[in-house]
Structure 1
Amino acid sequence: MKTPKNILFLMADEHQAGALSVLHHPHVQTPNLDRLAARGSVFLNAYTASPICVPARAAVATGRYPHETGYWDNALAYDGRFPSWGHILQAGGVSVTSIGKLHYRNSEDRTGFDQQILPIHILNGIGQIWGSVRNPLPTKSKGGSMLGGIGAGVSKYNLYDMEVANAAVDWLNMPARTEAPWAAFVSFVAPHFPLIVPEEYLDKYPAQDMPLPAVRPGIDGYEAHPWVARMNDIEDSDAELGSDQRRREAIAAYYALCSFVDQQIGKVLDALDASGQGDDTLIIYTSDHGENLGMRGRWGKSLLYREATQVPLIMAGPGIAAGAQVTTPVSLVDIPPTITDAFGLPPDPDWAGRSLTDIAAEPADPRRVVFAEYHAVNSPSGGFMVADAGWKYHEYIGYAPELFDLESDPLERHNLAGDPAYAAQEARMRKALHAICDPARVDASAKADQDRLVAGFGGPEKAFRIGPSGATPAPGP
């Protein structure tokens, strides 16, 4: 079997798993990711390790879950303390470059890149300190409107993503690219908020054609879980929208951003092929987490339901079957061993995952369990999730658990936890979760770390004033 010489690792931010036309989404148009999927494999049950940017990206770097590293929230960012896949590649003689958003602590830390081009890191190396104030929770989020505007226009983030794509094209066109093995991590902001997008993309999505979220509190008997309702008490972006028309406009703009980032990815894929390296390069595409998009009355991420925890994942290149779909559950922590495996380098023995190349080549394993956790902004306590191909279990410290039959209830409307008819499934999934970590102990550890951080900034009242209220600012004036 032919092995790759290079790796091109592409990442978007907040791309909902199903928002791909290759998966027959009724509205979203992603022709460039579709053609990538046609030459490779789509992983249908891929999950983040944490539904928020900084912890998810630390997990992608280190192959470890947040409770193993202490990168809990958007103030505690990857700083190189744990070995990354980049470190292993560097030690193996592979050139490693990042182009675009990293969301680590800063550019000075040794995080496994020989070069960082146009990086975004947490603001001033400290990020959203206010989001670490959880004990006790604030009465109102500092986040304000996470939507950050809705409609046609060109935001700084749009300009940044175009600059990232152009920088990646220029980098791929350098003669040195063909001389030695390389790995490039190319990372975009879209479709993350703000929901501002150039008109040419928004025109593809008339607001009146956009369906409203299928699961909303107070509609068809659905009520939010108390852990989620507690979040809504602190920050309620759905109420800020105020009307169904505005919700449709927000959904249209989000889908347009999916098409916008697809176009940027297409530029990079075209440059790779034009350079003559396409057949020798393993390509990975994913997102750090998903997006609620109004489901359950929430916008953004931060929840354990599939909208926020599932991610798109496509692989193409040497050794990857073309036009295939992989149903075995996988995680973003499977990416580091995939990358080291591609170069014939041993994985870190402490990594939680396995090579996606191996998983894709094996018979489907519907019982493989994946895990995610959340300890960040607005959460009253730690939230923990395990899922296999058919069942999904949530455990919240201090709140009732949830169990979902994904085959009969893919939208996760009907909580089966506590129902004697499903006691065996609940016990199995709970056992799987507790084999990974002790949720109560992890919750206490996260809050203790965050309390120390907050105390170091003068206590909750002062700490709550530190850090950007929305997305990390884009570089430039």
Structure 2
Amino acid sequence: MMPFNTLLLLTDEQDAHALGCAGHPFIKTPHLDALAARGTRFTQALTPSPICVPARAALATGRWVHDIAYWDNAMGYDGRIPGWGHALQTAGHCVESMGKLHYVNATAPTGFTKQHDPLHLADGIGQVWGSVRNPLPSTPRPSRLFTELGAGESSYNRYDISSAEHAAQWLQAKAAEKDAAPWTLFVGFVAPHFPLVVPQRFLDAIDIDAIAEPRLHPLSGYQRHPWVQRHADFSNADDELGTPERRRLALACYYALTCFMDEQIGKVLQALGQTGLQASTRVIMSSDHGDNQGARGMWNKSTLYREATHIPLILAGPGIPKGKVCATQVNLVDIAPTVLDNANLPADPTLPGRSLVAIANETDDPERIGFSEYHAVGSPSAAYLLRQGQWAYHHYVGYEPELFDIAADPGQSVNLAAHEGYRSIREHMASLLHQMLDPGATDQRAKADQDALVARFGGREAALGKGPMGASPVPSR
């Protein structure tokens, strides 16, 4: 069988529900809806870590964060552990990228034949201040999430427009090549990542007055889990918003940015179809993690709840069931064996993932385990998410766990972990986690690596001043 090309489209901070085909009441994504209609949409997809850099390193290597030790946003992927890109290059395939990668820098051997206008860690070091976790600083830190908010055009908007246009041009040029080698193109978009600034016409399409207040807000009496509260005490973005009107505006901008992003992806998919490459190309679309969107008074990512860990994942192309909705637990680590499968190359048998092509062509597997972990900025200790069937189990080192019945309580509003009637479920989920790793030892290993990084930058006080205060800047042209 001839190998298929792969077009990998990755957004940033997109919740799985932020799709028109997922039934969102405000977001319109006609291009992604059409992609899902000609392929398979995975409704139970998880990020390996609800923060950018570790999630992207796991995607690049196909391995869990605790196996590769890219713990936080100051530890960018550098090719130290080979990934699917290296395997494709060794086989003579063309492997290129367009747009955001968020690796350590553009010169590290991360598996690409060529990177076009890549966005990487700021100054190659990223958020060094976020590595100060042992212990977590007691002084609150401004989030700076909402210093820009509302209608306009940000550098990120312009960057995404440019990435889409360049990707379309790349596909047109590739179609004109004679005897072209099999190729994989990674296209990274920034939207709907903050700053929550979006062109006016997209914001005008959102009925801000119809947006409900974020659920489970502490101002309404909700009590955060102590681990989550410690995170909020470190950096409370919700307090910086301040009013219900600004919370609704923030949500409207997030929704509008997702619509903006869909339009950019549409340009790339249109070029794929017009060039005739669609017949020989499998498309994978996903996001690095989700966004809390004000639930529990939390914004951005960095929690284990559905909003931050649950991501969109669509696979379309030759040999993929059309119009299928698959409820098997999947993860970004499944992308590595999928890309290799597309190229007719064997995957390393030690990889934890499986080809999404195979999963899409099987009946749903309710027993498959979903997993995510967090060891990064704002966290006092490691946090682990385990999903199986209807259950979501949150394990926090040094804190009591959480347990949710996702079938009965999809909003995760009732923690069942302390209820005696659910003891066997809680113990079963904890046992599954311990089969994967030692939670406490992994926490200690992450903090030891972070302590060493902090020491290299001159100690705690010096490290707290190193790295971007907000989002990573776009590359200078």
What TM-score results when the alignment is normalised by the length of structure 1?
0.98
User: AA paired with 2:212?
Assistant: P
The whole-number CA distance in structure 2 between the counterparts of 1:297 and 1:339 is 38
The equivalent of 2:149 in structure 1 is 150
Q: Secondary structure at the match of 2:165?
A: helix
Shift in Å, 1:150: 1.0
Q: 1:439-467 CA deviation, whole Å, 9 max, x = no partner?
A: 00000000000001001111000000000
Contact 1:178–1:277 (8 Å) recurs in 2: no
The equivalent of 1:283 in structure 2 is 283
The whole-number CA distance in structure 1 between the counterparts of 2:336 and 2:244 is 41
Contact 1:301–1:308 (8 Å) recurs in 2: yes
The equivalent of 1:326 in structure 2 is 326
Q: Does residue 79 of structure 1 match 2:61?
A: no
Contact 2:172–2:275 (8 Å) recurs in 1: yes
The equivalent of 2:459 in structure 1 is 459
Count of aligned positions? 475
User: AA paired with 2:343?
Assistant: F
The equivalent of 2:301 in structure 1 is 301
Contact 2:72–2:131 (8 Å) recurs in 1: yes
Q: 1:392-449 CA deviation, whole Å, 9 max, x = no partner?
A: 1011011100111000011111111131211121111111111111100000000000
Shift in Å, 1:170: 0.9
Evaluate the alpha carbon distance shift between residue 431 and residue 20 of structure 1 in structure 2; reply closer, same or farther with a 3 A threshold. Answer: same
The equivalent of 2:209 in structure 1 is 208
The equivalent of 2:475 in structure 1 is 475
Shift in Å, 1:72: 0.3
The equivalent of 1:12 in structure 2 is 11
Contact 2:146–2:241 (8 Å) recurs in 1: no
The whole-number CA distance in structure 1 between the counterparts of 2:16 and 2:146 is 20
Q: 1:154-203 CA deviation, whole Å, 9 max, x = no partner?
A: 00000000010011011001122872210000000000000000011111
The whole-number CA distance in structure 1 between the counterparts of 2:178 and 2:430 is 48
Contact 1:4–1:317 (8 Å) recurs in 2: no
The equivalent of 2:394 in structure 1 is 394
The whole-number CA distance in structure 1 between the counterparts of 2:411 and 2:156 is 31
Q: Secondary structure at the match of 1:335?
A: helix
The whole-number CA distance in structure 1 between the counterparts of 2:136 and 2:403 is 26
The whole-number CA distance in structure 2 between the counterparts of 1:412 and 1:85 is 35
The whole-number CA distance in structure 1 between the counterparts of 2:450 and 2:280 is 44
Shift in Å, 1:141: 4.8
Contact 2:7–2:284 (8 Å) recurs in 1: yes
The equivalent of 2:66 in structure 1 is 67
User: AA paired with 2:468?
Assistant: P
Q: Structure 1 runs of 4+ off > 6 angstroms?
A: none
Contact 1:3–1:318 (8 Å) recurs in 2: no
Contact 2:3–2:344 (8 Å) recurs in 1: no
The equivalent of 2:131 in structure 1 is 132
User: AA paired with 1:334?
Assistant: D
The equivalent of 2:235 in structure 1 is 235
The whole-number CA distance in structure 2 between the counterparts of 1:322 and 1:4 is 20
Shift in Å, 1:217: 2.0
The whole-number CA distance in structure 2 between the counterparts of 1:313 and 1:406 is 19
The whole-number CA distance in structure 1 between the counterparts of 2:42 and 2:122 is 33
What TM-score results when the alignment is normalised by the length of structure 2?
0.98
Between 255-264 and 230-239, the greater mean CA deviation after superposition: 230-239
Contact 1:143–1:470 (8 Å) recurs in 2: no
User: AA paired with 2:428?
Assistant: R
Q: Does residue 31 of structure 1 match 2:30?
A: yes
Between 458-467 and 198-207, the greater mean CA deviation after superposition: 198-207
The whole-number CA distance in structure 1 between the counterparts of 2:142 and 2:344 is 44
The whole-number CA distance in structure 1 between the counterparts of 2:268 and 2:178 is 14
Q: 1:95-121 CA deviation, whole Å, 9 max, x = no partner?
A: 100001010011111111000001011
Evaluate the alpha carbon distance shift between residue 47 and residue 180 of structure 1 in structure 2; reply closer, same or farther with a 3 A threshold. Answer: same
Between 249-258 and 202-211, the greater mean CA deviation after superposition: 202-211
Shift in Å, 1:144: 3.0
The equivalent of 2:314 in structure 1 is 314
Evaluate the alpha carbon distance shift between residue 426 and residue 199 of structure 1 in structure 2; reply closer, same or farther with a 3 A threshold. Answer: same
Shift in Å, 1:204: 0.6
Give 5+ residue unaligned stretches, structure 1.
none
The equivalent of 2:55 in structure 1 is 56
User: AA paired with 1:314?
Assistant: I
User: AA paired with 1:227?
Assistant: W
The equivalent of 2:105 in structure 1 is 106
User: AA paired with 1:183?
Assistant: T
Evaluate the alpha carbon distance shift between residue 387 and residue 335 of structure 1 in structure 2; reply closer, same or farther with a 3 A threshold. Answer: same
The whole-number CA distance in structure 2 between the counterparts of 1:20 and 1:105 is 30
The whole-number CA distance in structure 2 between the counterparts of 1:136 and 1:25 is 40
Between 416-425 and 163-172, the greater mean CA deviation after superposition: 416-425
The whole-number CA distance in structure 1 between the counterparts of 2:434 and 2:148 is 41
The equivalent of 1:405 in structure 2 is 405
Contact 2:3–2:182 (8 Å) recurs in 1: no
Evaluate the alpha carbon distance shift between residue 60 and residue 392 of structure 1 in structure 2; reply closer, same or farther with a 3 A threshold. Answer: same
Evaluate the alpha carbon distance shift between residue 41 and residue 180 of structure 1 in structure 2; reply closer, same or farther with a 3 A threshold. Answer: same
Contact 1:340–1:346 (8 Å) recurs in 2: yes
Q: Secondary structure at the match of 1:36?
A: helix
The whole-number CA distance in structure 2 between the counterparts of 1:250 and 1:146 is 10
Evaluate the alpha carbon distance shift between residue 117 and residue 142 of structure 1 in structure 2; reply closer, same or farther with a 3 A threshold. Answer: farther
Identity of aligned residues (%): 52
The whole-number CA distance in structure 2 between the counterparts of 1:176 and 1:182 is 12
Between 348-357 and 302-311, the greater mean CA deviation after superposition: 348-357
Q: Does residue 444 of structure 1 match 2:434?
A: no
Shift in Å, 1:143: 4.9
